[in-house]
Amino acid sequence: MLLTCLPKSFFSGDYRVLGTSVGDAEVQFGACAQPSRICLGQDALAARMHGWLMGRWTLEKEGGGVCVEARQPRLLRRTFELHGEGGDFTLCGLSAFRCRYDLFSGDERVGSIWPAHAFTKRAYIDCDTAVPEYTQLFAFWIAALTWRSAGAAVAT
């Protein structure tokens, strides 16, 4: 199923996601140490980064239970291991020169996340129906974090 991620405005880093099974979703990035929010239907989930160099992120329900946990085994690699209620997945950047990420379940590619082109914040998520939508949105949040940090590094 193809999801379309549209920036809320030209200056905003937040996204409206079209095409989910429950209508529109939102991905909101928190400032500094504040948690980000992923809103899917009536559910508002908190996406948290645990320390700058820990390589660990979680997607948590409002009650505090973890839905998905992501770990980056090697800090300088664009590979993330996602573990959660919907299964275990690996999010891999295809190359250092491309922004596209593929999502794997074992050795099988089950999805992709990519920006529309180099001059826009618009992006797409295309995953099998076996991948829960909150896992797809969390994987997009991680990919968008890397795109934002790469853009900030180029700007300095």
pTM: 0.89
CA neighbor of 145 nearest in space, from 14, 4, 11, 6: 14
What pLDDT score was predicted for residue 97? 65
Distance CA 120, CA 79 (A): 23
For residues 45 and 38, the answer to whether their CB atoms sit within 8 Å is yes
Quickly count: other Cβ atoms within 10 Å of residue 80's Cβ. 24
For residue 85, the enclosing domain spans 2-155
What pLDDT score was predicted for residue 68? 96
Predicted confidence band of residue 136 (pLDDT cuts 50, 70, 90):
very high
Q: What is the pLDDT of residues 74-124, one digit of tens each?
A: 776 789 999 998 899 999 998 766 789 999 999 999 999 999 887 778 999
Q: What is the pLDDT of residues 9-66, one digit of tens each?
A: 888 889 999 999 999 999 999 887 678 999 999 999 999 988 766 789 999 988 778 9
**Domain total of the chain:** 1
Distance CA 134, CA 61 (A): 11
